[in-house]
Structure 1
Amino acid sequence: MTTPPTLLIVEDEILAALSLHAGFEEAGYQVMDLTSRPEEALAAARERKPDLALVNIKLYGRNDGIALAVDLKDMGIPVLFISGQPNRAVAARSVAVGSLAKPYSVDDMIAAVGYLLARLSGDGSQPRPKDLEVFDEDLPEVA
């Protein structure tokens, strides 16, 4: 039996975070504690390295989601920006594997995460979800 992928969700909108948490757990993912603070997200990531971090750009605390993404990337954790600020996400493309702009549905997010995790593991067979912007050129190309 394989272990389901582990996700870290860093989101300042609590209803969106709770909705994602429930949707991902229902889809079979392991979801770490939810947080809206970069410092808490880093501590959680150090304790239990997630397979992917979903990070909003606007966060509470001293740093924003872009600064958090830099730290997570340095730890070897890929980041998907989930943001209502797509221009800032594109500007920070060097620290994330992709971006999904708000508003999105939970189903859109599950499709995007599944696609990215497959690509990160070398499986390029899935079609890219329509609203997902992929930044990381090192990910295998879709066949």
Structure 2
Amino acid sequence: MKKRRDILIVEDDYLQSYVLELHLKSLNYNVIGVAVSGEEAIAITERQKPTLVIMDISLKGEMDGIDTAKIILKSYDISILYISGHLEVYSRSRAEQTNYIDIINKPLCKSKLVDAIDKCIKL
């Protein structure tokens, strides 16, 4: 049986999320939504139950991407792929407290993104 390829993008930068969504759709992934905040990501996850969440670590609002991932992972068996424009040691150590697949630095390299997504989808 082929595994679902439903992906939720959590990115508060419109241009980044738009380009990422275009890349994913061109690779035949099903982008089920784009969230700009942790709260919105949790709500979409509850409704849509994606296979993978591509999560920006630095989000505006009450929760960053790591806090959002922790909440999602408490209730759902979903793969998390972090993206970050400026990954600090502190953020990496916090991310390591969650069950994530990989962390990819921005700007995103399409081949690294595809490799990481394929790793997530195969799990």
Cα distance in 2, alignment partners of residues 33 and 47 from structure 1: 11
**Unaligned 5+ residue runs, structure 2?**
none
Partner residue in 2 for 1:104: 108
1:85-139 deviation per Cα after TM superposition (whole angstroms, max 9, x unaligned) = 3331343212122211122223431222112322x1xxxxxxxxxxxxxxxxxxx
Partner residue in 1 for 2:6: 6
Shift of 1:11: 0.7
Higher fraction of helix: 2
**Unaligned 5+ residue runs, structure 1?**
121-143
Bigger RCO (CA 8 Å, 6+ sep): 2
Amino acid at match of 1:81: Y
Higher fraction of strand: 2
Matched, 1:77 2:78: yes
Which one has a bigger Cα radius of gyration?
Answer: 1
Structure 1's consecutive aligned runs of 4 or more residues displaced over 4 angstroms after TM superposition are 1-4
In the alignment, is the contact (CA less than 8 A) between 1:81 and 1:89 conserved in 2? no
Shift of 1:10: 0.3
Q: Aligned Cα RMSD in Å?
A: 1.8
TM-score (norm 2): 0.86
In the alignment, is the contact (CA less than 8 A) between 2:5 and 2:30 conserved in 1? yes
Number of equivalences: 119
TM-score (norm 1): 0.75
